[in-house]
Homo-oligomer: A and B are copies of this chain.
Amino acid sequence: MRIETLEELAERIKKVSDVTILTHARPDGDTIGAGFGLCYYLRSVGVRANIKNSDGFPQKFGYLFEGYSDMDFEEKCVISVDVADKKLLGDELSGYADRIDLCIDHHISNRMFAKESYVDGESCATCLILYKLLRIMGAKPSRLIADCLYTGIATDTGCFMYENTSPDAHRAAADLKEFGAKAAEINREMFQIKSKGRILAEQKVIGSMKFFGDSRIALITITNDIIDSYNVDRADLDGFAAIPLTVEGVEIGITLKQQADDPKKFKASVRTVTADASAIAANFDGGGHVRAAGCTLSGTAEDAAEAIAKAAEKYL
């Protein structure tokens, strides 16, 4: 059943007790911020609540859960936050897949897997939904809750840089700073600091950037060699795909990632300014969105680069 308004959602939240909050696997700032934000809010009004994740919470977000510990109770209500599909709960939490009471999410693609769902596909972050919810309920976020909600809004908008940043997102950030969110520290942690290995691996990858189609296509290759020599976590390679499009004049950016288990296989990520990325990926049985898509190529790094660059040139 779909919950249509924030007011209805507020009424629903007022009735919960003994809550388990679920966040999505490979958690990001929005699911973590929304999960802990909701958990701390519920505890502040006397509702027992715990939060769970299949993969654990990365230490990078430690400032949100330093003082957290699980409470002891028998759960009566399960709420998922920022989870678009029950598959995204991950292995550890898969047992919850068909018994989620309430889903709060901002993905337009939400599969409506919960008994009740509040989905606002227009919202740039689940944390923004939660902020509005708390205000409607008359709650004054604590400093820690403000940190949680600021984290989700900032990370899902690329620090207010992306197209999805709504006026509401800026206004929520303004309020959250007034409620004590330590925004500058959070931004430094989220957007500026990188591990030494990561920064050196980036440098190596950028140094080998190749250009095609009159420099309107840029391609980088992340080899197993680079990942191993700089000791970079494979789960932490997502940001690389944005690099090629940062070069002036580049309209199609391609990132090839050599596969650990098969060095003759490369996962390609295609990002575009105006061209249809999913059409480019479809040349190699891949797919995705108009501005971001993916596919897999076989052969040497050189073969893979040549093949996808040649295909991409047709879309310039």
Contacts and interface: CB of A to CB of B under 8 A. Distances in A.
Contacts of A245: 192
Interface stretch (A11-19, A96-104, A202-210): A202-210
Interface string A187-200: 11001111110011
A215 B200 CA distance: 14
Nearest to A170: B174
Interface of chain A, main secondary structure: helix
A246 B188 CA distance: 8
Contacts of A171: 170-171, 174
A195 B249 CA distance: 8
A235 interface: no
Interface size class of A (residues with CB under 8 A): 35 or more
B200 A207 contact: yes
Contacts of A192: 161, 245-246
Contacts of A193: 246-248
Given A160-B159, A215-B196, A170 B165 contact: no
Interface string A239-280: 000000111110000000000000000000000000000000
A177 interface: yes
A163 B173 CA distance: 13
A45 interface: no
Interface in A211-235: 211, 215
Interface in A147-180: 159-163, 165-171, 173-175, 177-178
A195 to B, nearest CB: 5
A175 B168 CA distance: 10
A195 B160 CA distance: 23
Contact of A161 (B166, B174, B184): B184
A177 B184 contact: no
Contacts of A161: 159, 184, 187-188, 191-192
A196 B245 CA distance: 11
19 contacts: A159-B160, A159-B161, A162-B184, A162-B187, A163-B184, A167-B173, A167-B177, A171-B174, A193-B246, A193-B247, A194-B248, A195-B248, A196-B248, A196-B249, A199-B206, A200-B206, A202-B203, A202-B206, A203-B203
Given A167-B178, A199-B246, 19 more contacts: A160-B160, A160-B170, A161-B184, A161-B187, A161-B188, A161-B192, A166-B177, A167-B174, A170-B171, A170-B174, A171-B174, A192-B246, A193-B246, A193-B247, A195-B248, A196-B215, A199-B247, A202-B206, A204-B207
